[in-house]
């Protein structure tokens, strides 16, 4: 997850490694208590609404695998791979090589500990990543939300920053290769002081340095390198996902307060409750795109 920034955040730029550590290096054991067992920290894809979170996370990976046209021999890069949940899925469903990049050391250590065959992960900014040869397919699940800061968006730089990201990704594949892409979107602006304060808290305390894109910014930014073949939004799926994370976290309240302190529990309860409202009230949404390299 990354959160919003309708609120001014000073001159801060794109999420730095230190800011990423604020968001993802709290404690692997803490996240393991309330994410699903594979540690997906992004929206699942509910098709009927009756699935478990675990089933819906598999459905998300299946869709993005299809969008990227991954086969059993593909060499795939997952940009912003988190704790390796999607890499794990790729290995279980069949892939040649599955590589990931992340800015979080704690996440990379978790991926290494999984000992997945054919999987490699690098702790690096995607901008500095240089593959030794082209990939057959790309995937990226809610990583772009870290790339443009509120200050940069205020200066009108968002589309250029996203275009730079899509251009870099395009340089890693041959024409015709596909990209299964997912991002959180910002949509409507809330109206009440409390809602705005909750969003500011989430952006400042839980996800410093990031800003969710608007759908139209992404559609503009994929040009001239990528063609959009499919585009689906899944606002309700993210509402269900965050509601389930909140329910699971609350069920471990005593353990979390005891082990990590009241502040951490209170902060994450406020953040996850804000997420549930954000998707319910259309402040935010989520998009999946199938892109093909032109």
Ligand X SMILES: C[S@@+](CC[C@H](N)C(=O)[O-])C[C@H]1O[C@@H](n2cnc3c(N)ncnc32)[C@H](O)[C@@H]1O
Positions touching ligand X (CB under 6 A) are 1, 15, 20, 24, 40-42, 80-82, 85-86, 101-104, 107, 125-126, 141-143, 146
Q: How far apart are CA 7 and CA 204, in angstroms?
A: 9
Q: How far apart are CA 53 and CA 245, in angstroms?
A: 9
Q: Which is nearer to ligand X, 167 or 257 (CB)?
A: 167
Query: 258: which strand partners?
Result: none
Q: Which is nearer to ligand X, 157 or 261 (CB)?
A: 157
CB of 262 to ligand X, least distance (A): 25
Q: Which is nearer to ligand X, 12 or 257 (CB)?
A: 12
CB of 79 to ligand X, least distance (A): 6
Q: Which is nearer to ligand X, 74 or 107 (CB)?
A: 107
Q: Which is nearer to ligand X, 78 or 192 (CB)?
A: 78
Strand boundaries in 81-222, DSSP class E: 97-102, 119-123, 135-141, 173-186
CB of 261 to ligand X, least distance (A): 23
CA atoms lying within 13 Å on the CB side of residue 1: 30
Query: 123: which strand partners?
Result: 102
CB of 169 to ligand X, least distance (A): 11
CB of 212 to ligand X, least distance (A): 11
Q: Which is nearer to ligand X, 24 or 238 (CB)?
A: 24
Q: How far apart are CA 55 and CA 73, in angstroms?
A: 25
Asked if 137 contacts 173 with a C-beta cutoff of 8 angstroms, the reply is yes
CB of 162 to ligand X, least distance (A): 12
With CA atoms as reference, report the closest residue to 150 among 233, 198, 194, 207: 207
Q: How far apart are CA 189 and CA 150, in angstroms?
A: 14
Q: Which residue has the tokens 């959009």?
A: 228
């Amino acid at each position: 997850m990354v959160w919003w920034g309708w609120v001014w955040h000073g001159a801060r730029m794109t999420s730095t490694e230190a800011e990423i550590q604020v968001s993802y290096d709290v404690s692997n054991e803490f996240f393991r208590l309330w994410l699903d067992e594979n540690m997906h920290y992004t929206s699942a894809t509910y098709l009927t609404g009756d699935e478990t979170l675990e089933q819906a996370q598999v459905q998300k990976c299946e869709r993005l695998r299809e969008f990227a046209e991954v086969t059993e021999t593909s060499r795939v890069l997952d940009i912003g791979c988190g704790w390796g949940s999607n890499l794990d899925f790729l290995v279980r469903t069949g892939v040649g090589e599955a590589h990931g990049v992340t800015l979080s050391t704690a996440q990379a250590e978790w991926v290494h500990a999984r000992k997945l065959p054919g999987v490699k992960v690098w702790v690096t900014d995607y901008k500095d990543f240089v593959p030794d040869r082209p990939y057959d397919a790309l995937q990226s699940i809610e990583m772009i939300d870290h790339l443009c800061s509120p200050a940069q968006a205020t200066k009108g730089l968002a589309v250029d920053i996203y275009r730079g990201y899509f251009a870099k990704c395009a340089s890693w594949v041959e024409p015709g290769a596909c990209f299964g892409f997912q991002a959180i979107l910002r949509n409507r602006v809330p109206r009440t002081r409390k809602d705005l304060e909750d969003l500011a808290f989430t952006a400042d305390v839980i996800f410093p340095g990031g800003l969710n894109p608007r759908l139209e910014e992404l559609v503009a930014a994929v040009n001239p390198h990528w063609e959009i073949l499919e585009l689906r939004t899944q606002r309700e799926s993210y509402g269900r996902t965050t509601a389930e994370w909140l329910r699971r976290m609350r069920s471990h309240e005593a353990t979390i307060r005891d082990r990590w302190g009241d502040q951490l529990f209170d902060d994450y309860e406020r953040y996850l409750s804000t997420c549930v409202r954000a998707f319910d009230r259309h402040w935010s949404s989520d998009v999946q795109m199938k892109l093909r390299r032109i």
